[in-house]
Amino acid sequence: MDPLRRSPSPCSPQASSPESPPCEMLGYVGIEAVLDQLKIKAMKMGFEFNIMVVGQSGLGKSTMVNTLFKSKMWKSTPPGLGGPTPQTLQLHSVTHVIEENGVKLKLTVTDTPGFGDQINNDKCWDPILGYINEKYEQYLQEELLITRQRHIPDSRVHCCVYFVPPTGHCLRPLDIEFLQRLCRTVNVVPVIARADSLTIEEREAFRRRIQHNLKTHSIEVYPQKCFDEDVNDRILNSRIRDRIPFAVVGADREHMVNGRCVLGRKTKWGIIEVENMAHCEFPLLRDLLIRSHLQDLKDITHNVHYENYRVIRLNQSHVLPRGPGWVNLAPAPPCQPSSPGLTKVCRWAQDNSDEDS
Amino acid sequence: MDKEYVGFAALPNQLHRKSVKKGFDFTLMVAGESGLGKSTLINSLFLTNLYEDRQVPEASARLTQTLTIERRGVEIEEGGIKVKLTLVDTPGFGDSVDCSDCWLPVVRFIEEQFEQYLRDESGLNRKNIQDSRVHCCLYFISPFGRGLRPLDVAFLRAVHEKVNIIPVIGKADALMPKETQALKQKIREQLKEEEINIYQFPDCDSDEDEDFKRQDAEMKESIPFAVVGSCEVVRDGTRPVRGRRYSWGTVEVENPHHCDFLNLRRMLVQTHLQDLKEVTHDLLYEGYRARCLQSLARPGARDRASRSKLSRQSATEIPLPMLPLADTEKLIREKDEELRRMQEMLEKMQAQMQQSQAQGEQSDAL
């Protein structure tokens, strides 16, 4: 595995592999400087992150993206304005390079206007699945070339944020159909959108019901239980899994509250502060997506979802189109034993291929 | 005695006494996607717990659910007058992935009520006609969308000529004031564009005072009503109010600055309940009846569509229109048979009487 791809996750210390016993150090060697080297290399190269937002119109997707990255990625349209809802689902991508403390992030956000807005929403998830698979295919083609680029541009979707409308009851049939299909292809993070219409008790009840629905329909959202590498991961992720889906509110206007300037929504009965944990769980979402699990999202996309896709494609290799610099494909790689979740994932791959054939 | 005073100024009192005795019945339909606060609003409007034993269906149940029509009745008494309120609910509306034609059961239900009334009105015993026609439909629009969604437009177009529609924005506490205004404006534009006729609150008389006129104009401006419902009483500072408590503040349901609940309650319950019934009867029902009878009329005789069409001569020859109620024709035929038999009996009795009279006269003469 390319060392740059397999970057160490910040939460767990480097676990020594079970085969080689730890060796006693007789003095300071300076191996730990390799971490600095990795960091310098990463900062020079910059990071890429591709996120997709899915949900009905008016649930605050564009506003949420603006709030997450604290920049006007999009002009969020207020209700009542904006053009008519598109008749079919369209996918719309925007790329920005944002920089913070010398670290450059090339961020691509894909929006899906028209999702779930029609009278008949059957198969409205097909264009989205098609887009995700298309990105995997692009990456696969680049990987198969004889002379590969040094750094393959990564346009695969690393995370899909699904906005659940705050009905307060439970997941709708459309939500369940979509989540079932997408969780097998991409990391999905469901959130309760526009949560300022639910009180704290209603939110908790709604959350529990959604969790129960997800379990009943075997929908594994990010962070998936089977990919927890060690105890620390499991503890951290369990805490996150307990709060998923986060009840979020997005805002891109600032207001003065107690002398501080905060992002929020001002109503006649109070100001909803977006970054106040007592008001909504936006900080949890931001921390998950950006501050703590960004690299993990990319790793799982690369190691699990992309590999799944690759296995399916290689099994169909007799129909794989011959691109420039075509290489005769070796038989499909065996399942890697180190990652315990992959066996489950291989089962998913087989299910997928059963469905396709 | 005062020659100029006739005394019919007391007529309204007589009417009042009669209606108190008779009672008042009203059928209200609520429609809209699930999760927009319909049940909570109804409970708040009528201050009853109509939905006490309500079970929200589980997600897996919803996957196979189709639209059902549920009727709930409650008797509310206030100030000596009894109101028999029937609530028609449409659970399952807009829930499935494919909602094509999901409004058809609702349209059929409304027309069935008209059909029933038409049959009762044309029948023999008209003493106790039960008026189960839908007098008003509160349609809930989502505050999260960008105005009316395709499903909303399709539903409203299907029912707007059959029932009084009052559009309402549910869960309006999700919106900031500017957003509420923009959304209302957009919905009004869309309603005009799609030529959907919602219930028009009648203009107030020209002799009302300016204050009342201004209030009336304000209320009309706030259509569609942006409402928040709650049956819980929370303490906001010192006084208890009905509202929803959030960590950033409390929404008061009965505060006109927070939402339009008071406007809706005033216009629906306090001032326009009777008008809604009248519009249903005079406009919508008559429209239905005219359409129904015109389709009954033979081709070429369309202008003779009057009440006499349902008399003995024509009813049995012409099949019934539109709604596939299997026993309607049979019932009408039965009633006509009855009528004919009674007529024959009457004639026989008359003939017998004449005969006995004639015999009596003869015997007298003899």
Distance CA A53, CA A131 (A): 13
User: Mean pLDDT throughout A100-121?
Assistant: 88
A244/chain B closest Cα distance in angstroms? 18
Distance CA A320, CA A327 (A): 11
B358 interface with A at CB cutoff 8 Å? no
Question: Has this prediction a pTM greater than 0.90?
Answer: no
B102/chain A closest Cα distance in angstroms? 9
Distance CA A323, CA A339 (A): 32
A321/chain B closest Cα distance in angstroms? 36
Sheet containing A270-273, strands listed edge to edge, beginning at the edge strand earlier in sequence: A254-257, A260-267, A270-273
Report CA Rg, chain A.
Answer: 22
Distance CA B279, CA A321 (A): 68
pLDDT at B327: 57
Counting Cα atoms < 13 Å in the Cβ hemisphere of A201 gives 2
A223 and A240 Cβ atoms separated by less than 8 Å: yes
**Which residues, other chains included, contact B336 with Cβ-Cβ below 8 Å and sequence gap of 6+?**
B312, B315, B316
Largest Cα separation within chain B, whole Å, is 107
Structure ipTM? 0.76
B204 interface with A at CB cutoff 8 Å? no
Structure tokens at A146: 């004889």
Which is more confidently placed, B203 or A297? A297
B170/chain A closest Cα distance in angstroms? 10
* B145 to A57: CB separation less than 8 angstroms, yes or no: yes
Token pair 């009867």 in the structure block, residue: B281
DSSP state at residue B307? G
* B244 to A167: CB separation less than 8 angstroms, yes or no: no
pLDDT at B52: 63
User: Sign of dihedral through CA atoms B190, B195, B201, B204?
Assistant: positive
Largest Cα separation within chain A, whole Å, is 72
B236 and B252 Cβ atoms separated by less than 8 Å: yes
pLDDT at B124: 81
Distance CA A71, CA A20 (A): 48
B325/chain A closest Cα distance in angstroms? 29
CA nearest to B179 within chain A: A79
Calculate the alpha carbon distances from B123 to B119, B128, B339 in Å.
6, 11, 10
Backbone φ and ψ for B265, nearest 5 degrees, come out as -65, -40
Number of CB atoms found within 10 A of residue B79's CB? 5
Over residues A259-286, the pLDDT tens digits come to: 888 889 998 888 999 988 999 999 999 9
* A82 to B56: CB separation less than 8 angstroms, yes or no: no
User: Collapsing DSSP states into helix, strand and coil, what is residue A164?
Assistant: strand
Which is more confidently placed, B61 or B164? B164
* B34 to A167: CB separation less than 8 angstroms, yes or no: yes
Structure tokens at A107: 């961020």
B55 interface with A at CB cutoff 8 Å? no
Distance CA B94, CA B105 (A): 13
> Is omega for the bond preceding A84 within 30 degrees of 0, making it cis?
no
CA B198-B200-B201 angle, to 5 degrees, is 140
pLDDT at B364: 65
Give the closest of B151, B182, B257 to A80, CB-based: B182
Task: Give the residue among A49, A170, A58, A167 at the shortest CA–CA distance from A110.
Answer: A49
Whether residue B65 is predicted with pLDDT greater than 70 in this model: the reply is: no
A267 exposed, middle or buried (CB, 10 Å; 0-12, 13-18, 19+)?
A: buried
pLDDT at A200: 92
Over residues B91-136, the pLDDT tens digits come to: 888 888 888 888 999 999 999 999 999 888 888 878 777 788 999 9
Alpha helices (H) along A82-125: none
Number of CB atoms found within 10 A of residue B5's CB? 8
* A172 to B62: CB separation less than 8 angstroms, yes or no: yes
Beta bridge partners of A96: A107
pLDDT at B29: 93
Chain-centroid distance of CA B175 in Å reads: 30
Calculate the alpha carbon distances from B337 to B74, B333, B342 in Å.
38, 6, 9
Interface of B with A in 227-286 (CB under 8 A): 244-252, 257-258
Which is more confidently placed, B345 or A355? B345
Token pair 């591709």 in the structure block, residue: A50
User: Mean pLDDT throughout B255-273?
Assistant: 87
Identify all chain B residues contacting A169, using CB atoms and an 8 Å cutoff: 34-35, 56
Which is more confidently placed, B321 or B363? B363
Give the closest of B97, B100, B177 to A174, CB-based: B97
* B252 to A269: CB separation less than 8 angstroms, yes or no: yes
B252/chain A closest Cα distance in angstroms? 8
* A197 to B247: CB separation less than 8 angstroms, yes or no: no
Calculate the alpha carbon distances from B39 to B32, B50, B52, B60, B140 in Å.
11, 8, 10, 22, 11
DSSP state at residue B80? T
Counting Cα atoms < 13 Å in the Cβ hemisphere of B281 gives 12
Distance CA B184, CA A80 (A): 8
Give the closest of A60, A121, A176 to B59, CB-based: A176
A80 and B182 Cβ atoms separated by less than 8 Å: yes
Reported as type and span, the H/E element at residue A261 is strand A260-267
Over residues B294-331, the pLDDT tens digits come to: 888 755 444 444 444 444 444 443 344 444 444 566 67
Reported as type and span, the H/E element at residue B245 is strand B239-246
Distance CA A222, CA A227 (A): 10
* A269 to B176: CB separation less than 8 angstroms, yes or no: no
Task: Give the residue among A224, A140, A240, A134 at the shortest CA–CA distance from A179.
Answer: A224
Over residues A162-214, the pLDDT tens digits come to: 999 999 899 999 999 999 999 999 999 999 999 999 999 999 999 999 999 99
Report CA Rg, chain B.
Answer: 26
Whether residue A19 is predicted with pLDDT greater than 90 in this model: the reply is: no
Interface of B with A in 59-88 (CB under 8 A): 59-60, 62-63
Distance CA A350, CA A339 (A): 18
Residue A333 confidence class, pLDDT cut points 50, 70, 90: very low
A172 interface with B at CB cutoff 8 Å? yes
B25 and B86 Cβ atoms separated by less than 8 Å: yes
* B186 to A79: CB separation less than 8 angstroms, yes or no: yes
